[in-house]
């Protein structure tokens, strides 16, 4: 009996409960990432956290592709997801110490998940689509190469770990763009990457919810431990409003546009790769960095340094850039939405003036939220 999803039914692209259960590990991972950045809010900390985020995202998105092909309601697929859940939990536990004493665990869990999942996919597809099996073979080659670099970096001295892991990430990023070219197996074609567009769009939207939910959790937990004075209450309201506006900017139009584009495309695999595998990276990263900025504003509303301003303004800026590119590809227009371009320009101006004008974190956060509100209102008025 085939373990692949049976396409063409009304609910063939439905996200299963076991997939949502699997995602709980990544709620923890996102929390670990934001806390790690908050504890080391400098250039080195930002680079390290960014690298760990990219590795975490890559593990998750490959699993999304896997459950897009394979039916999570089948017992064998569920068992594989449970095994990945355990490995993902170990990966998440190691995030705060990945650049100290637990690099080996982070690297080993990446290799185990990426290669183990793909080997299982190859085994489970025996007797099915030959082109799909060849894709899995190509993926095994690329993921084994990057996984070896993740492990080597984890075993290397902490001072050289970044170089090893940047090389591993470069391999991971290049693989889909090069269509997993392997001598003898050649490269994939976009026709080979037949995905269910509804499932892909919904799964990535759920990760946005994970990131936004983590932002609210950080805001609530921090606010609960602080005195209820005017500055703290103001910072709390701004953090919540900023999170709501990020939700609005993605889900009010972006989700619908992206879903329509991938479902009605002749090459859904191309859009799954470009719009969902790559362009969701800055969207999620922006939410995580924004959550760090919210906590800084709550804790220190009146005094902030350059690193704090970078988080407060940079998070929404990253999010807006990713959302603009995502909507641009979905709408196939000559330029990204004008509202988003103006919002990006305003945030860049704000970032340039924040320190010279000695803006407080609370005021910088307020102006950032005003920019997001401006973009959301403009887009809603134009598209309604």
30 neighbors 213 (Cβ within 8 angstroms): no
In contact, 261 and 297? CB cutoff 8 Å = no
pTM of the model: 0.94
> CA 205, CA 276: separation in Å to the nearest integer?
9
Two tokens, residue 207: 């990760």
Q: How far is CA 241 from the centre of its chain?
A: 21
- Each residue's pLDDT, cut to its tens digit, for the chain (384 residues) gives 678 887 766 666 788 899 999 999 999 999 999 999 999 999 999 999 999 999 999 999 999 999 999 999 899 999 999 999 999 999 999 999 999 999 999 999 999 999 999 999 998 888 777 888 899 999 999 999 999 999 999 999 999 999 999 999 999 999 999 999 999 888 988 877 888 889 999 999 999 999 999 999 989 999 999 999 999 999 999 999 999 999 999 998 888 888 888 888 888 889 899 999 999 999 999 999 999 999 999 999 998 899 999 999 999 999 999 999 999 998 877 788 999 999 999 999 999 999 999 999 999 999 999 999 999 999 888 754
Q: How many angstroms separate the CA atoms of 204 and 13, rounded?
A: 13
**Cα 228 to Cα 241: distance, rounded to the nearest angstrom:** 18
Other C-beta atoms lying within 10 Å of the C-beta of residue 341: 16
Sheet strands (E) in 123-270: none
Residue 252: both structure tokens together? 């009010």
CA nearest neighbour of 22 among 217, 276, 275, 206: 206
d(CA 259, CA 384): 18
Q: If we measure between CA atoms, which residue out of 197, 209, 329, 346 comes closest to residue 262?
A: 197
């Amino acid at each position: 009996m085939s373990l692949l999803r049976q396409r063409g039914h009304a609910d063939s692209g439905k996200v299963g409960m076991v997939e949502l259960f699997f995602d709980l590990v990544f709620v923890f991972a996102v929390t670990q990432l934001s806390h790690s950045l908050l504890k080391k809010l400098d250039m080195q900390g930002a680079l390290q956290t960014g690298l760990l985020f990219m590795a975490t995202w890559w593990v998750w998105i490959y699993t999304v592709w896997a459950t897009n092909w394979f039916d999570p309601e089948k017992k064998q697929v569920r068992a594989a997801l449970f095994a990945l859940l355990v490995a993902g939990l170990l990966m998440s536990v190691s995030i705060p110490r990945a650049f100290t004493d637990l690099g080996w665990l982070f690297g080993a869990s990446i290799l185990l998940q990426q290669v183990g999942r793909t080997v299982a996919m190859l085994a489970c597809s025996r007797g099915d689509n030959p082109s799909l099996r060849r894709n899995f073979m190509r993926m095994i080659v690329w993921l084994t190469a990057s996984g070896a670099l993740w492990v080597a970096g984890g075993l290397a001295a902490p001072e050289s770990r970044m170089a090893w892991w940047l090389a591993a990430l470069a391999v991971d990023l290049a693989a889909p763009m090069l269509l997993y070219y392997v001598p003898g197996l050649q490269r994939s074609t976009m026709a080979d990457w037949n995905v269910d567009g509804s499932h892909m769009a919904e799964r990535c939207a759920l990760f946005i919810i994970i990131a936004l939910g983590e932002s609210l959790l950080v805001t609530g937990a921090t606010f609960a431990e602080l005195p209820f004075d005017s500055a703290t209450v103001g910072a709390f309201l701004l953090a919540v409003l900023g999170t709501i506006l990020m939700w609005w900017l993605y889900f009010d139009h972006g989700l619908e546009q992206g879903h329509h584009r991938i479902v009605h495309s002749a090459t859904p695999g191309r859009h799954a790769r470009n719009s969902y595998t790559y362009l969701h990276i800055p969207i999620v990263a922006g939410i995580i960095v924004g959550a760090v900025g919210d906590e800084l504003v709550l804790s220190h509303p009146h005094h902030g340094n350059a690193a704090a301003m970078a988080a407060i303004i940079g998070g929404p800026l990253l999010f807006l850039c990713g959302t603009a590119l995502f909507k641009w590809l979905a709408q196939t227009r000559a330029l990204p939405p004008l509202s988003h371009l103006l919002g990006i320009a305003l945030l860049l101006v704000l970032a340039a003036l924040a320190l010279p004008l000695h803006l407080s974190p609370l005021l910088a956060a307020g102006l950032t939220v005003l920019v997001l509100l401006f973009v959301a209102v403009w887009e809603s008025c134009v598209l309604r």
